[in-house]
Chains A and B, each alone.
Chain A
Amino acid sequence: MDHVTGIASVPSGDSSSEGAGAPALADLFRRAARGDESAFSALYDATAARVHGLVLRVVRDPAQAEEVTQETYLEVWRTSARFDADRGSALSWLMTIAHRRAVDRVRSAEAAHRRDNNYHDQSETVPHDSTAEAAATALEATRVRRAMQSLTEIQREALELAFFGGYTHTEVASMLDVPIGTAKTRIRDGLIRLRDALGVNQ
Protein backbone atom coordinates (compact mmCIF):
# COMPACT_ATOMS: atom_id res chain seq x y z
CA MET A 1 0.00 0.00 0.00
CA ASP A 2 2.73 2.43 0.82
CA HIS A 3 4.65 3.32 -2.28
CA VAL A 4 5.58 6.77 -1.30
CA THR A 5 9.03 6.19 0.09
CA GLY A 6 11.76 7.52 -2.06
CA ILE A 7 10.11 10.84 -2.60
CA ALA A 8 12.95 13.11 -1.74
CA SER A 9 11.38 16.46 -1.56
CA VAL A 10 7.95 17.63 -0.65
CA PRO A 11 6.52 21.01 -1.48
CA SER A 12 6.63 23.25 1.48
CA GLY A 13 3.75 24.37 3.55
CA ASP A 14 0.22 23.94 2.45
CA SER A 15 -1.31 20.55 3.02
CA SER A 16 -4.80 21.61 2.05
CA SER A 17 -6.87 19.75 -0.46
CA GLU A 18 -4.92 21.05 -3.40
CA GLY A 19 -1.46 20.86 -1.95
CA ALA A 20 0.82 23.74 -2.63
CA GLY A 21 -0.07 26.28 -5.20
CA ALA A 22 -3.86 26.27 -5.32
CA PRO A 23 -3.98 30.02 -5.90
CA ALA A 24 -1.26 29.61 -8.48
CA LEU A 25 -3.41 27.06 -10.28
CA ALA A 26 -6.34 29.45 -10.42
CA ASP A 27 -3.99 32.09 -11.79
CA LEU A 28 -2.79 29.67 -14.48
CA PHE A 29 -6.42 29.12 -15.49
CA ARG A 30 -6.98 32.84 -15.81
CA ARG A 31 -3.88 33.24 -17.95
CA ALA A 32 -4.78 30.25 -20.09
CA ALA A 33 -8.21 31.77 -20.66
CA ARG A 34 -6.42 34.70 -22.28
CA GLY A 35 -4.65 32.35 -24.65
CA ASP A 36 -1.39 32.06 -22.73
CA GLU A 37 0.02 28.72 -23.88
CA SER A 38 2.94 28.79 -21.45
CA ALA A 39 0.48 29.15 -18.58
CA PHE A 40 -1.49 26.24 -19.97
CA SER A 41 1.69 24.21 -20.24
CA ALA A 42 2.44 24.89 -16.58
CA LEU A 43 -1.14 24.04 -15.68
CA TYR A 44 -0.74 20.74 -17.49
CA ASP A 45 2.51 19.94 -15.71
CA ALA A 46 0.92 20.68 -12.35
CA THR A 47 -2.12 18.47 -12.88
CA ALA A 48 -1.54 15.88 -15.62
CA ALA A 49 -0.65 12.97 -13.34
CA ARG A 50 -3.83 13.41 -11.32
CA VAL A 51 -6.01 13.85 -14.35
CA HIS A 52 -4.51 11.03 -16.33
CA GLY A 53 -4.30 8.71 -13.35
CA LEU A 54 -7.99 9.16 -12.63
CA VAL A 55 -8.98 8.79 -16.25
CA LEU A 56 -6.82 5.71 -16.64
CA ARG A 57 -8.29 4.19 -13.53
CA VAL A 58 -11.83 4.64 -14.81
CA VAL A 59 -11.24 3.88 -18.48
CA ARG A 60 -8.56 1.17 -18.06
CA ASP A 61 -7.54 1.05 -21.69
CA PRO A 62 -4.32 3.13 -21.98
CA ALA A 63 -5.00 4.35 -25.52
CA GLN A 64 -8.55 5.40 -24.69
CA ALA A 65 -7.37 6.99 -21.47
CA GLU A 66 -4.92 9.14 -23.40
CA GLU A 67 -7.74 10.22 -25.68
CA VAL A 68 -9.91 11.18 -22.74
CA THR A 69 -7.07 13.04 -21.05
CA GLN A 70 -6.46 14.91 -24.28
CA GLU A 71 -10.15 15.75 -24.63
CA THR A 72 -10.20 16.95 -21.06
CA TYR A 73 -7.34 19.38 -21.50
CA LEU A 74 -8.72 20.60 -24.79
CA GLU A 75 -12.02 21.33 -23.10
CA VAL A 76 -10.20 23.06 -20.28
CA TRP A 77 -8.28 25.17 -22.77
CA ARG A 78 -11.43 26.11 -24.62
CA THR A 79 -13.54 26.83 -21.57
CA SER A 80 -11.10 28.11 -18.97
CA ALA A 81 -12.72 31.53 -19.16
CA ARG A 82 -15.82 29.87 -17.70
CA PHE A 83 -14.00 28.73 -14.60
CA ASP A 84 -15.53 30.54 -11.65
CA ALA A 85 -13.43 30.53 -8.50
CA ASP A 86 -16.52 31.35 -6.46
CA ARG A 87 -18.00 27.96 -7.24
CA GLY A 88 -15.05 25.80 -6.34
CA SER A 89 -11.36 25.30 -6.76
CA ALA A 90 -9.59 25.11 -10.07
CA LEU A 91 -8.48 21.57 -9.34
CA SER A 92 -12.02 20.48 -8.53
CA TRP A 93 -13.28 22.01 -11.76
CA LEU A 94 -10.62 20.24 -13.76
CA MET A 95 -11.09 16.87 -12.09
CA THR A 96 -14.86 17.12 -12.45
CA ILE A 97 -14.47 17.57 -16.19
CA ALA A 98 -11.99 14.71 -16.42
CA HIS A 99 -14.11 12.33 -14.39
CA ARG A 100 -17.27 13.13 -16.31
CA ARG A 101 -15.52 12.53 -19.60
CA ALA A 102 -14.02 9.27 -18.37
CA VAL A 103 -17.40 8.08 -17.16
CA ASP A 104 -19.05 9.10 -20.42
CA ARG A 105 -16.45 7.05 -22.24
CA VAL A 106 -16.94 3.86 -20.28
CA ARG A 107 -20.71 4.11 -20.32
CA SER A 108 -20.90 4.25 -24.06
CA ALA A 109 -22.06 0.90 -25.26
CA GLU A 110 -19.05 0.23 -27.38
CA ALA A 111 -16.57 0.88 -24.64
CA ALA A 112 -18.51 -1.37 -22.32
CA HIS A 113 -17.47 -4.36 -24.36
CA ARG A 114 -13.83 -3.61 -24.05
CA ARG A 115 -13.94 -2.93 -20.43
CA ASP A 116 -12.12 -4.95 -17.83
CA ASN A 117 -14.36 -5.59 -14.90
CA ASN A 118 -11.73 -6.93 -12.56
CA TYR A 119 -11.73 -3.78 -10.55
CA HIS A 120 -10.51 -5.56 -7.46
CA ASP A 121 -7.31 -6.57 -9.17
CA GLN A 122 -6.24 -3.10 -10.05
CA SER A 123 -3.05 -2.33 -8.25
CA GLU A 124 -2.59 1.08 -6.84
CA THR A 125 0.39 2.78 -8.26
CA VAL A 126 2.02 6.03 -7.40
CA PRO A 127 4.45 7.44 -9.88
CA HIS A 128 8.08 7.64 -9.02
CA ASP A 129 9.01 10.48 -11.22
CA SER A 130 10.71 13.53 -9.93
CA THR A 131 8.21 16.24 -10.71
CA ALA A 132 6.85 18.45 -8.02
CA GLU A 133 3.40 17.12 -8.82
CA ALA A 134 4.54 13.58 -8.12
CA ALA A 135 5.82 14.60 -4.74
CA ALA A 136 2.68 16.50 -3.90
CA THR A 137 0.36 13.75 -5.05
CA ALA A 138 2.36 11.05 -3.31
CA LEU A 139 2.01 12.92 -0.08
CA GLU A 140 -1.64 13.45 -0.72
CA ALA A 141 -2.11 9.82 -1.67
CA THR A 142 -0.90 8.83 1.75
CA ARG A 143 -3.43 11.11 3.37
CA VAL A 144 -6.18 9.79 1.13
CA ARG A 145 -5.41 6.18 1.92
CA ARG A 146 -5.33 6.88 5.59
CA ALA A 147 -8.65 8.66 5.34
CA MET A 148 -10.12 5.83 3.27
CA GLN A 149 -9.33 3.47 6.12
CA SER A 150 -11.67 5.47 8.32
CA LEU A 151 -14.62 4.42 6.18
CA THR A 152 -16.75 1.39 6.76
CA GLU A 153 -16.08 -1.38 4.31
CA ILE A 154 -19.30 -0.82 2.42
CA GLN A 155 -18.75 2.93 2.26
CA ARG A 156 -15.29 2.40 0.85
CA GLU A 157 -16.36 -0.25 -1.63
CA ALA A 158 -19.32 1.77 -2.83
CA LEU A 159 -17.24 4.89 -3.24
CA GLU A 160 -14.44 3.09 -5.05
CA LEU A 161 -16.81 1.41 -7.46
CA ALA A 162 -18.58 4.67 -8.19
CA PHE A 163 -15.61 7.02 -8.40
CA PHE A 164 -12.78 4.82 -9.63
CA GLY A 165 -14.98 2.28 -11.36
CA GLY A 166 -17.35 4.71 -13.05
CA TYR A 167 -20.42 2.69 -12.11
CA THR A 168 -23.81 4.18 -11.32
CA HIS A 169 -25.10 3.87 -7.79
CA THR A 170 -27.68 1.43 -9.05
CA GLU A 171 -24.97 -0.74 -10.55
CA VAL A 172 -22.95 -0.42 -7.38
CA ALA A 173 -25.90 -1.60 -5.32
CA SER A 174 -26.21 -4.65 -7.50
CA MET A 175 -22.49 -5.39 -7.41
CA LEU A 176 -22.42 -5.12 -3.63
CA ASP A 177 -25.68 -6.99 -3.28
CA VAL A 178 -27.34 -4.27 -1.26
CA PRO A 179 -30.78 -2.76 -1.85
CA ILE A 180 -31.07 -0.03 -4.46
CA GLY A 181 -30.92 3.23 -2.59
CA THR A 182 -28.37 1.94 -0.13
CA ALA A 183 -25.38 2.49 -2.36
CA LYS A 184 -26.07 6.17 -2.97
CA THR A 185 -26.36 6.71 0.75
CA ARG A 186 -23.08 4.91 1.40
CA ILE A 187 -21.37 6.92 -1.31
CA ARG A 188 -22.56 10.15 0.22
CA ASP A 189 -21.76 9.10 3.78
CA GLY A 190 -18.31 7.99 2.70
CA LEU A 191 -17.58 11.22 0.86
CA ILE A 192 -18.74 13.31 3.78
CA ARG A 193 -16.54 11.36 6.14
CA LEU A 194 -13.57 11.76 3.80
CA ARG A 195 -14.29 15.44 3.36
CA ASP A 196 -14.14 15.91 7.10
CA ALA A 197 -11.13 13.63 7.57
CA LEU A 198 -9.19 15.41 4.85
CA GLY A 199 -10.18 18.86 5.98
CA VAL A 200 -11.45 19.79 2.54
CA ASN A 201 -12.66 23.33 2.27
CA GLN A 202 -16.40 23.50 1.89
Chain B
Amino acid sequence: MSDIHALSGAYAVDALDDIERHLFEKHLATCADCRAEVAGLQETAAVLAAAVATPPPPALKDRIMAEVATVRPLPPEVPGRHVDEERPSRRRWFPSLVAAAAAVAVIGGGAVVITQPWDDETTQLSATAQVTQASDAATISADLPDGSTARIVRSASRGQAVLLADDMPEAPAGKVYQLWLQAPSGDMLPAGLMNGGDAEVLLDGDARTATGAGITVEPAGGSPAPTSDPVALFAFEGA
Protein backbone atom coordinates (compact mmCIF):
# COMPACT_ATOMS: atom_id res chain seq x y z
CA MET B 1 0.00 0.00 0.00
CA SER B 2 1.46 3.31 -0.98
CA ASP B 3 1.33 6.22 1.36
CA ILE B 4 -1.41 8.03 -0.46
CA HIS B 5 -3.96 5.40 0.52
CA ALA B 6 -3.19 6.16 4.14
CA LEU B 7 -4.69 9.62 3.66
CA SER B 8 -8.19 8.14 3.34
CA GLY B 9 -8.97 8.49 7.03
CA ALA B 10 -7.69 12.03 7.30
CA TYR B 11 -9.62 12.90 4.15
CA ALA B 12 -12.83 11.43 5.55
CA VAL B 13 -12.62 13.73 8.57
CA ASP B 14 -11.37 16.80 6.68
CA ALA B 15 -7.94 16.62 8.27
CA LEU B 16 -5.99 17.32 5.09
CA ASP B 17 -4.71 20.71 4.09
CA ASP B 18 -5.86 22.14 0.78
CA ILE B 19 -3.04 20.73 -1.29
CA GLU B 20 -3.22 17.26 0.18
CA ARG B 21 -6.96 17.24 -0.30
CA HIS B 22 -6.60 18.36 -3.87
CA LEU B 23 -4.10 15.63 -4.64
CA PHE B 24 -5.98 12.97 -2.75
CA GLU B 25 -9.19 13.79 -4.63
CA LYS B 26 -7.27 13.35 -7.82
CA HIS B 27 -6.14 9.99 -6.58
CA LEU B 28 -9.70 9.09 -5.62
CA ALA B 29 -10.83 9.56 -9.17
CA THR B 30 -8.68 6.64 -10.21
CA CYS B 31 -8.74 4.41 -7.12
CA ALA B 32 -11.95 2.49 -6.51
CA ASP B 33 -10.54 0.95 -3.33
CA CYS B 34 -9.97 4.35 -1.81
CA ARG B 35 -13.40 5.58 -2.90
CA ALA B 36 -15.03 2.64 -1.18
CA GLU B 37 -12.92 3.07 1.92
CA VAL B 38 -13.57 6.81 2.13
CA ALA B 39 -17.31 6.24 1.77
CA GLY B 40 -17.28 3.77 4.65
CA LEU B 41 -15.16 6.04 6.81
CA GLN B 42 -17.40 9.03 6.09
CA GLU B 43 -20.39 6.94 7.13
CA THR B 44 -18.51 6.09 10.30
CA ALA B 45 -17.69 9.72 10.99
CA ALA B 46 -21.36 10.62 10.51
CA VAL B 47 -22.24 8.13 13.22
CA LEU B 48 -19.61 9.58 15.55
CA ALA B 49 -21.39 12.91 15.43
CA ALA B 50 -24.24 11.39 17.44
CA ALA B 51 -21.95 11.51 20.46
CA VAL B 52 -22.09 15.30 20.50
CA ALA B 53 -25.65 15.86 19.31
CA THR B 54 -27.01 19.18 20.53
CA PRO B 55 -30.31 20.62 19.41
CA PRO B 56 -29.96 24.09 17.92
CA PRO B 57 -32.10 26.91 19.26
CA PRO B 58 -35.64 26.67 17.89
CA ALA B 59 -35.31 30.11 16.32
CA LEU B 60 -32.64 28.74 13.99
CA LYS B 61 -35.15 26.56 12.23
CA ASP B 62 -37.42 29.54 11.71
CA ARG B 63 -34.58 31.46 10.11
CA ILE B 64 -33.60 28.56 7.90
CA MET B 65 -37.13 27.83 6.75
CA ALA B 66 -37.70 31.50 6.00
CA GLU B 67 -34.57 31.57 3.87
CA VAL B 68 -35.35 28.26 2.21
CA ALA B 69 -38.65 29.69 1.02
CA THR B 70 -36.71 32.24 -1.03
CA VAL B 71 -34.15 29.89 -2.60
CA ARG B 72 -34.75 27.68 -5.60
CA PRO B 73 -33.24 24.21 -5.37
CA LEU B 74 -30.71 23.47 -8.08
CA PRO B 75 -31.69 20.97 -10.74
CA PRO B 76 -30.02 17.58 -10.83
CA GLU B 77 -26.87 17.23 -12.86
CA VAL B 78 -27.84 15.83 -16.21
CA PRO B 79 -25.57 14.95 -19.10
CA GLY B 80 -24.81 17.72 -21.50
CA ARG B 81 -25.75 20.49 -19.20
CA HIS B 82 -23.45 22.47 -17.07
CA VAL B 83 -24.91 23.80 -13.86
CA ASP B 84 -23.01 26.34 -11.92
CA GLU B 85 -22.40 25.53 -8.36
CA GLU B 86 -20.67 27.12 -5.47
CA ARG B 87 -17.14 25.82 -5.09
CA PRO B 88 -17.83 22.64 -6.98
CA SER B 89 -14.46 21.06 -6.43
CA ARG B 90 -14.85 21.04 -2.68
CA ARG B 91 -18.44 20.01 -2.56
CA ARG B 92 -18.38 17.12 -4.92
CA TRP B 93 -17.54 13.90 -3.24
CA PHE B 94 -15.53 12.52 -6.07
CA PRO B 95 -14.76 15.08 -8.70
CA SER B 96 -14.73 13.79 -12.21
CA LEU B 97 -11.10 14.34 -12.75
CA VAL B 98 -9.15 13.63 -15.84
CA ALA B 99 -7.30 10.43 -15.35
CA ALA B 100 -4.19 11.82 -16.87
CA ALA B 101 -1.75 14.37 -15.65
CA ALA B 102 0.23 13.72 -12.58
CA ALA B 103 0.52 16.88 -10.59
CA VAL B 104 0.81 19.66 -13.10
CA ALA B 105 1.92 21.35 -15.67
CA VAL B 106 4.12 23.10 -18.05
CA ILE B 107 7.21 24.79 -16.89
CA GLY B 108 8.09 28.19 -18.07
CA GLY B 109 8.47 31.62 -16.69
CA GLY B 110 9.13 30.30 -13.24
CA ALA B 111 6.23 27.97 -12.74
CA VAL B 112 7.26 25.04 -10.63
CA VAL B 113 6.15 21.46 -10.70
CA ILE B 114 5.84 20.21 -7.19
CA THR B 115 6.34 16.70 -6.02
CA GLN B 116 3.64 14.86 -4.24
CA PRO B 117 3.93 15.60 -0.56
CA TRP B 118 3.70 12.02 0.56
CA ASP B 119 6.73 11.00 -1.46
CA ASP B 120 8.77 11.65 1.61
CA GLU B 121 6.92 12.77 4.65
CA THR B 122 9.95 13.77 6.55
CA THR B 123 11.24 16.27 4.04
CA GLN B 124 10.39 19.87 4.30
CA LEU B 125 7.26 21.29 2.77
CA SER B 126 7.17 21.72 -0.96
CA ALA B 127 7.53 25.19 -2.37
CA THR B 128 3.81 25.49 -2.90
CA ALA B 129 2.93 24.04 0.49
CA GLN B 130 5.18 26.59 2.15
CA VAL B 131 2.89 29.23 0.67
CA THR B 132 -0.45 27.54 1.22
CA GLN B 133 0.43 26.65 4.78
CA ALA B 134 1.85 30.04 5.67
CA SER B 135 0.18 31.60 8.69
CA ASP B 136 -1.10 34.48 6.61
CA ALA B 137 -2.14 32.42 3.59
CA ALA B 138 -5.28 33.84 2.03
CA THR B 139 -7.34 32.19 -0.66
CA ILE B 140 -8.99 34.04 -3.54
CA SER B 141 -11.31 32.12 -5.84
CA ALA B 142 -12.37 32.90 -9.37
CA ASP B 143 -14.76 31.12 -11.69
CA LEU B 144 -13.44 29.96 -15.03
CA PRO B 145 -15.60 30.17 -18.15
CA ASP B 146 -16.42 26.47 -18.00
CA GLY B 147 -17.76 26.87 -14.49
CA SER B 148 -14.85 25.31 -12.68
CA THR B 149 -13.03 27.27 -10.05
CA ALA B 150 -9.42 28.30 -9.75
CA ARG B 151 -7.92 29.50 -6.51
CA ILE B 152 -4.91 31.54 -5.69
CA VAL B 153 -3.41 31.17 -2.26
CA ARG B 154 -1.24 34.12 -1.39
CA SER B 155 1.07 34.71 1.49
CA ALA B 156 1.94 38.38 1.73
CA SER B 157 4.64 37.68 4.29
CA ARG B 158 6.38 35.29 1.90
CA GLY B 159 5.65 37.46 -1.10
CA GLN B 160 4.50 34.36 -2.97
CA ALA B 161 1.30 33.02 -4.44
CA VAL B 162 0.18 29.62 -5.69
CA LEU B 163 -2.46 28.89 -8.26
CA LEU B 164 -4.61 25.82 -7.64
CA ALA B 165 -6.88 24.51 -10.36
CA ASP B 166 -9.04 21.43 -10.53
CA ASP B 167 -9.88 19.80 -13.81
CA MET B 168 -9.30 22.99 -15.72
CA PRO B 169 -10.00 22.59 -19.44
CA GLU B 170 -6.91 22.14 -21.55
CA ALA B 171 -5.72 25.22 -23.34
CA PRO B 172 -6.67 25.24 -27.04
CA ALA B 173 -4.22 23.65 -29.46
CA GLY B 174 -1.15 25.81 -29.92
CA LYS B 175 -2.09 27.90 -26.90
CA VAL B 176 -1.14 27.96 -23.29
CA TYR B 177 -2.49 29.52 -20.14
CA GLN B 178 -0.35 32.35 -18.89
CA LEU B 179 -0.42 33.65 -15.35
CA TRP B 180 0.05 37.31 -14.57
CA LEU B 181 0.68 39.39 -11.52
CA GLN B 182 -0.52 42.94 -11.63
CA ALA B 183 2.11 45.33 -10.35
CA PRO B 184 1.09 48.38 -8.33
CA SER B 185 1.74 50.39 -11.49
CA GLY B 186 -1.02 48.43 -13.21
CA ASP B 187 1.39 46.56 -15.48
CA MET B 188 0.71 42.87 -15.97
CA LEU B 189 3.89 40.92 -15.33
CA PRO B 190 4.34 37.35 -16.61
CA ALA B 191 4.13 34.92 -13.70
CA GLY B 192 4.22 31.52 -15.35
CA LEU B 193 2.68 29.19 -17.89
CA MET B 194 0.44 26.20 -17.44
CA ASN B 195 -1.78 23.79 -19.26
CA GLY B 196 -5.18 22.90 -17.93
CA GLY B 197 -6.00 19.91 -15.81
CA ASP B 198 -5.15 19.83 -12.15
CA ALA B 199 -2.49 22.32 -11.29
CA GLU B 200 -0.50 23.80 -8.47
CA VAL B 201 1.72 26.48 -9.79
CA LEU B 202 3.95 28.78 -7.82
CA LEU B 203 3.67 32.19 -9.40
CA ASP B 204 6.84 33.91 -10.45
CA GLY B 205 7.23 37.46 -9.21
CA ASP B 206 6.52 39.51 -6.14
CA ALA B 207 3.10 38.60 -4.80
CA ARG B 208 3.57 40.91 -1.84
CA THR B 209 3.24 44.13 -3.78
CA ALA B 210 1.03 42.77 -6.54
CA THR B 211 -2.53 44.04 -6.50
CA GLY B 212 -3.98 41.04 -8.25
CA ALA B 213 -3.44 38.14 -10.60
CA GLY B 214 -4.98 36.93 -13.81
CA ILE B 215 -5.00 34.10 -16.33
CA THR B 216 -5.07 34.60 -20.08
CA VAL B 217 -4.84 32.30 -23.09
CA GLU B 218 -1.66 33.04 -25.03
CA PRO B 219 0.24 31.53 -27.94
CA ALA B 220 2.48 28.63 -26.97
CA GLY B 221 5.54 29.94 -25.24
CA GLY B 222 3.66 32.81 -23.68
CA SER B 223 3.65 36.52 -24.31
CA PRO B 224 5.53 39.42 -22.74
CA ALA B 225 2.18 41.12 -22.11
CA PRO B 226 -1.40 39.83 -22.24
CA THR B 227 -2.83 39.61 -25.75
CA SER B 228 -6.31 38.49 -24.79
CA ASP B 229 -8.92 39.17 -22.18
CA PRO B 230 -8.39 37.29 -18.92
CA VAL B 231 -10.33 34.10 -18.33
CA ALA B 232 -10.00 34.67 -14.60
CA LEU B 233 -9.04 37.54 -12.34
CA PHE B 234 -8.06 37.51 -8.69
CA ALA B 235 -8.01 40.67 -6.63
CA PHE B 236 -5.62 40.63 -3.69
CA GLU B 237 -7.06 41.96 -0.50
CA GLY B 238 -5.09 44.54 1.38
CA ALA B 239 -2.85 45.12 -1.59
A residues at B contact (CB < 8 Å): 17-18, 32-35, 37, 40-41, 44-45, 48-54, 56-57, 66, 69-70, 73-75, 77-82, 87-89, 91-97, 99-100, 103, 109, 124-127, 129, 131, 133-134, 136-138, 140-141, 143-145, 148, 159, 162-164, 166-170, 172, 179-181, 183-185, 187-192, 194-195, 198, 200-202
Contacts and interface: CB of A to CB of B under 8 A. Distances in A.
A82 B92 CA distance: 9
Given A41-B65, A95-B49, A168-B15, A52 B56 contact: yes
B6 A188 contact: yes
B31 interface: no
B71 A163 contact: no
Nearest to B5: A188
B91 A97 contact: yes
Report, nearest first, the 6 A-B pairs whose CB atoms are least far apart: A188-B9, A53-B54, A140-B50, A202-B40, A95-B46, A52-B56
B15 A162 contact: yes
Contacts of A145: 51
A141 B44 CA distance: 13
Contacts of A57: 52, 54
Contacts of A166: 14
B17 A168 contact: yes
Contact of B12 (A48, A77, A87, A191): A191
Nearest to B92: A82
Given A103-B14, A168-B15, A81 B75 contact: yes
Interface string B1-41: 00100111110111111000000000000000000100111
A137 B55 CA distance: 11
B39 A66 contact: no
Contacts of A195: 40-41, 43-44
Interface string B77-102: 10000000110001101100000000
A148 B51 CA distance: 10
B145 interface: no
B74 A144 contact: no
Given A80-B73, A82-B77, A187 B9 contact: yes
B17 A48 contact: no
A192 B55 contact: no
Given A78-B74, A79-B74, A168-B17, A189 B48 contact: no
Given A52-B55, A79-B91, A166-B14, A99 B85 contact: no
Contacts of B77: 81-82
Nearest to A195: B44
Given A49-B53, A131-B55, A144-B51, A200 B40 contact: yes
Contacts of B46: 17-18, 50, 89, 91-92, 94-96
